Amino acid sequence: MIRPIALIGDPVLLQMAREVTSEELPTPEIQAVIDDMISTLKSTTGVGLAAPQISESLRIVIVDKPLTILVNPVVTPLTTTTDTSIEGCLSVPGVTGQVRRHQTVRVEALSRKGKPIDMVWTAFRAIVVQHEVDHLNGILYVERADFTDIPPPPRPEAQKRLQPVIGSSGKKTFVIDSEKPVGGARHATFRFDLPGRIVGLRIQPGGALITRASLSGMSLKKKGYPAGTAEQMILGSEGLVVSPGDELRIDLRMPSGKRRLVAEVDVNPLTT
Ligand code: NI
């Protein structure tokens, strides 16, 4: 059952959630809470959900892609290195902010069947699980976020390079420029320094053909997104989740005699 999401201002989001006992974990009531969390998350654009967000003050979180259910999670930082990324939250609609989190964490928890889980997560999943465990402790990311220090967009001269950096959200436009007219096979690489999801990719001028697209070496075809045989690639409403450090490579066939290609990449911020 899809449940309403508790929004900022709701006292349930400020409470310390209680642990689930091993006796109650297999009960239909707790299993139903987990099922409801999955259905509710799937109905949103989010990639993580904590039980308090569906008004259940229990220590259960789910992290998507791939879907992982964590009961009574304990997250321990394994490095002092931290990463800054742009976060959003289903309980705080319409807002994003910059948050610093540990890069690598150990995640200990129980599965929904009560089996022990002990994993090391880095980058994107590490960020999401730290955000979700904060929810269990009554902390919203907005308390940790810096809303003023959003990195500036790349300067125009920086956009001329073949390796532009994609920022937080919205439509990003990159100009792939050449000194003299060129045609034929070309490629461009976009490096992501923030988590997000790509929902579409379009190359201009018309006539350019995307022949292959890959994310950090894995063909998007293998990830279930049809590789473009056209000048645009729509990645569906779910989009393609990218983590900091990921590289999107687009191989394309450029119309001859063109000096300039414009790649438009639609990126939505990560919402958890
Ligand atoms: Ni959240």
**Average pLDDT across the chain, whole number:** 79
In 212-267, which ranges are continuous DSSP H helix?
none
Same fold, 11-148 and 156-269: no
Domain 156-269 class, CATH top level? mainly beta
Q: 30-34, 132-136, 168-172, 209-213: lowest mean pLDDT where?
A: 168-172
Say what the pLDDT of residue 164 is: 39
CA 47 to ligand 1 centroid distance, Å: 9
Active site (catalytic) residues: 132
Q: Is residue 127 classed as helix, strand or coil in its secondary structure? A: helix
CA 92 to ligand 1 centroid distance, Å: 7
Say what the pLDDT of residue 224 is: 55
Q: 163-177, 214-228, 251-265: lowest mean pLDDT where?
A: 163-177
Q: What is the pTM of this model?
A: 0.59
* Residue 167 banded pLDDT, cuts 50, 70, 90: very low
Architecture of domain 11-148: Alpha-Beta Complex (3.90)
Say what the pLDDT of residue 112 is: 97
Say what the pLDDT of residue 246 is: 78
Instruction: Calculate the alpha carbon distances from 42 to 63, 69, 130, 236, 242 in Å.
Output: 11, 14, 20, 14, 18
CA 82 to ligand 1 centroid distance, Å: 19
User: Per-residue pLDDT for 133 more than 50?
Assistant: yes
Domain range summary for the chain, segments of one domain joined by +: 11-148, 156-269
CA 227 to ligand 1 centroid distance, Å: 32
In the chain, which ranges are continuous DSSP H helix?
28-42, 123-136, 156-159
Task: Calculate what percentage of the chain has a pLDDT beyond 90.
Answer: 43
Query: What tens digit of pLDDT does each residue of 238-250 get?
Result: 667 777 777 777 7
CA 49 to ligand 1 centroid distance, Å: 6
Closest CA to 101 of 73, 124, 69: 124
CA 215 to ligand 1 centroid distance, Å: 26
Q: Between these two residues, 189 and 76, which has the higher pLDDT value?
A: 76
